[in-house]
């Protein structure tokens, strides 16, 4: 986890350096090159942030904190977190932001994965086992 935080810090320095290079570039081609490198650094940083959120949710509690997550995080990591939570819990609570687009995506994701859930005022409760 500390390694991931250090990678984020290093990427912040690299990003600032690339932004400075963009402003100091003499021609359009050079600015475009540095702009693309800066975008790559931002994309890598986003992956590191997703790793931190992922590892913070890998525990035996019944809550998954998705605040600050994007639809990309939900589609890549959420299913794995839910599977790991099944070992410890019968139901899981999702903590989400009030981002309508992300909530709609989350509803569709849970429906596609055939995970039973209840949504009351944008508070999700996932039912991981069926009782007959």
- Tell me which of 53, 70, 87 is where a domain ends: 53
Q: Is 88 domain-assigned?
A: yes
Residue 90's pLDDT is: 86
Give this prediction's pTM: 0.76
Reported as a pLDDT band with limits 50, 70 and 90, residue 123 is confident
Q: Indicate the DSSP class of residue 12.
A: H
Supply the range of the domain harboring residue 46: 2-53
| Alpha helix ranges (H) inside 25-99 | 28-57, 71-73, 79-85
Residue 132's pLDDT is: 38
The whole-number average pLDDT for the span 102-124 is 87
Task: Let me know whether 122 and 65 are in one domain.
Answer: yes
DSSP string, 82-117: HHHHTTT-SEEEEE--S-HHHHHHHHHHHHHTT-EE
User: By the 8 A CB rule, do 53 and 68 touch?
Assistant: yes
Task: Let me know whether 76 and 111 are in one domain.
Answer: yes
Using the predicted structure, report yes or no on whether residue 86 has a pLDDT greater than 50. Answer: yes
Residue 71's pLDDT is: 86
Task: Let me know whether 44 and 83 are in one domain.
Answer: no
> What tens digit of pLDDT does each residue of 35-61 get?
999 999 999 998 888 888 899 998 888
Q: What whole-number distance in Å separates Cα of residue 106 and Cα of residue 117?
A: 11
């Amino acid at each position: 986890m500390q390694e991931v935080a250090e990678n984020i810090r290093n990427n912040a320095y690299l990003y600032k350096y690339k932004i400075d290079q963009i402003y100091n570039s003499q021609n359009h081609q050079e600015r475009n090159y540095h702009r693309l490198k800066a975008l790559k650094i931002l994309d890598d940083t986003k992956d590191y942030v997703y790793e931190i959120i992922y590892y913070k949710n890998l525990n035996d509690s019944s809550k998954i904190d998705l605040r600050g997550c994007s639809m990309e995080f939900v589609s890549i990591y959420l299913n794995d977190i839910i599977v790991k939570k099944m070992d410890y819990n019968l139901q899981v609570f999702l903590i989400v932001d009030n981002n309508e687009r992300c909530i709609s995506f989350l509803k569709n994701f849970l429906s596609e994965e055939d995970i039973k859930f209840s949504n009351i005022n944008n508070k999700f409760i996932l039912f991981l086992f069926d009782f007959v």
